[in-house]
Amino acid sequence: FRIGGPAAVMVSPRSPKQVAEVVRACGAAEAPMRVIGLGSDLLIADGGLACVVMRLAENLNAVRVEGNRVIAQAGATNLSVAGYEFAEGIPGTIGGAAIMNAGAYVGDFSTAAVSLKCVSPEDEIVEVTREQAQWGYRHSMMADAGYVVVEATLELSFDAQAEIQARMDDFHTRRVEKQPLEMPSAGSTFKRPEGYFAGKLIQDAGLRGYKVGGAQVSEKHTGFVVNAGGATAADVCQLIADVQAKVADQFGVTLEPEVKMWGF
């Protein structure tokens, strides 16, 4: 959204060991901590965050290939490889994708993942298998348990470069045509309610283009809330609440935000 206040403390570890050291230090000091990658699915309150924010991005983004497996650190951006084409254009990191089981169109993170390396709340570096991760729709055990993902191993299929590129180009075209990529947002604002599509419910509720301050329900895709110019985090938060109330009133469906809202 390109809005929101500052972090009280920001740290950028350069290794899994340093991630564990930050977790240990915060635990010892009883200091609350949040973890971000590129922040692409976050709405941060205008007053910021009174906590330690650990950012896993450029300083922890090494990628190596071993046969048909890719081992990527948490800060690596989503990859252009066979079996992971669905992630083309998703503006996030491997760590974020693992935590929320990011997905689109015909795939999600769990379909490619073999295992993860994580730092537990007890500051231990542990391996988490695919089965232990308990991935579901925008959900994982790691999110529930407070694990910090530091590395992921993906098992991928081989294919011709042209075929991989063709699938990625198709997904890219779909996104450009249907999503408001030219405006700041946090992607799909709401999770998909069972049996419904959030965007259609919002559209049918007459909320296309609805605004609160500088925040707006996208004219192009009603499943997106965008910063139309000059929005505050409070504007976005209020707009999300208004949409939830209107959809619940008209259709009896509860929309759950996919956007993470911190500091409110």
CB 246 within 8 A of CB 53: no
Strands (DSSP E) found in 156-190 = 185-188
Show which residues are catalytic. 138, 188, 258
Residues of the chain with pLDDT under 50: none
Q: What does the pLDDT read at residue 5?
A: 96
Residues whose CB falls within 8 Å of the CB of residue 210, separated by 6 or more in sequence, listed in order: 216, 217, 239, 242, 243
Return the structure tokens found at 5. Answer: 């206040």
The gap between the terminal CA atoms of the chain, to the nearest Å, is: 16
Q: What does the pLDDT read at residue 167?
A: 81
Neighbours of 24 (CB within 10 A): 14
Residue among 262, 235, 87 nearest 168 (CA): 87
For residues 125 and 102, give the distance between their C-alpha atoms in angstroms, rounded to a whole number: 23
Task: Look up residue 162 and give its DSSP letter.
Answer: H
The β-bridge relationship of strands 113-119 and 49-55 is: unpaired
The DSSP line for 76-116 is SBPP-STT-GGGTT---BHHHHHHHT-EETTEEHHHHEEEE
Task: Look up residue 135 and give its DSSP letter.
Answer: -
Q: What does the pLDDT read at residue 170?
A: 82
**C-alpha angle 162-167-173 in degrees, rounded to nearest 5:** 120
For residues 131 and 212, give the distance between their C-alpha atoms in angstroms, rounded to a whole number: 43
Distances (CA, A) of 215 to 1, 97, 239, 260: 10, 26, 7, 16
Q: What does the pLDDT read at residue 7?
A: 95
pLDDT tens string 88-106? 667 789 999 999 998 776 6
Q: What does the pLDDT read at residue 81?
A: 67
CB 126 within 8 A of CB 118: yes
CB 46 within 8 A of CB 227: no
For residues 106 and 120, give the distance between their C-alpha atoms in angstroms, rounded to a whole number: 31
pTM for the full predicted model: 0.87
Return the structure tokens found at 27. Answer: 């635990």
Backbone conformation region of residue 74, classed left if phi is above 0, alpha if psi is from -120 to 50, else beta = alpha
Residue among 181, 205, 184, 180 nearest 255 (CA): 205
Return the structure tokens found at 188. Answer: 């799909």
Q: What does the pLDDT read at residue 181?
A: 83
